[in-house]
Amino acid sequence: MNYCKKNINKKVAIFGGAFDPVTNGHLQSFAEIINSMHYDEIWIVPSGRRLDKPRMTKPLDRLIMLHLAVNTYYTSDFPIKILDIEIYREKPLATYDLLCYLRNENKDCDFTFVIGSDWLQPGTDLRMWKSQDPNDETKTIVTGDKLINEFDFIVLYRPGYEIKDLKSFGPRFRMLKLPYNMEYINTKVSSSELRNRMEKNLILIEGLLPRAVLDFIKRNNIYKKN
């Protein structure tokens, strides 16, 4: 499905993640990417089922929470979309495969993938990221080299994760910078911290995610203790 308007070349930032749950930190990051004035739109891609994370909240619940967050946090004209490409898949979709799919389906869009500085640390080599082997579903192949050569990356600084030499990762990586000497607003609110707090008491996450999302969590007992 083509998500771009015809005859308009858009610059689109792709932000993937589990969003389990979506936090105010995520929402502020989405806003700052648009505030950088480098992108026309930001597309959010929540992950589907993850074989390495069997306790992850159901994909549809995470998708609903994202929609609630976006619809109540931003004004109606904020240029953001949520894609459900991965939600109904039985198997995970690798980053390279996702970006290739979007590129093939949206010829009039230029895509940049959003990544945190925590993914550019020793021991986390993007060049070793893998995809499912198209010729054998039981195997994987390394596509990370293609990923960093074919697509642009915008890096969001994560507190505690410094990068000494961004150029060492390749010419298509750059840090997110805001115009007019504005300071990047980065609220450190992680999904894992919210899940840890919810194990103790739901009241401990008040103000850290949109109220509509918290109401959905309470109403449907999403993060109930096992």
Residue 145 has pLDDT above 90, yes or no: yes
Distance CA 139, CA 121 (A): 27
Beta bridge partners of 142: 130
Residue 176 has pLDDT above 80, yes or no: yes
In this prediction the pTM is: 0.93
Residue 90 has pLDDT above 90, yes or no: no
Question: What pLDDT score was predicted for residue 92?
Answer: 86
Residue 94 has pLDDT above 60, yes or no: yes
Mean pLDDT throughout 202-212? 96
The backbone region for 58, taken as left when phi is positive above 0, alpha when psi lies in -120 to 50, beta otherwise, is beta
Q: Which amino acid is at 56?
A: M
Other CB atoms closer than 10 Å to residue 42's CB: what's the count? 22
Mean pLDDT throughout 182-197? 92
Task: Supply the Cα-derived Rg of the chain in whole angstroms.
Answer: 18
Q: What does the pLDDT look like over 8-54, one tens digit per residue? A: 689 999 999 999 999 999 999 999 999 999 999 999 999 998 877 77
Question: What pLDDT score was predicted for residue 11?
Answer: 97
Question: What pLDDT score was predicted for residue 39?
Answer: 98
What distance, in Å, lies between the first and last C-alpha atoms of the chain? 39
10-220: CATH topology is Rossmann fold (3.40.50)
Mean pLDDT throughout 206-225? 94
Beta bridge partners of 131: 141
**pLDDT tier for residue 6 given thresholds of 50, 70 and 90:** low
Q: What is the mean pLDDT of the chain?
A: 93
Distance CA 178, CA 156 (A): 11
- Compare 62 and 158 and report the one with higher pLDDT: 62
Give the start-to-end residue ranges of the domains of the chain.
10-220
Could you tell me which of 160, 162, 165, 93 has the C-alpha nearest to residue 131?
93
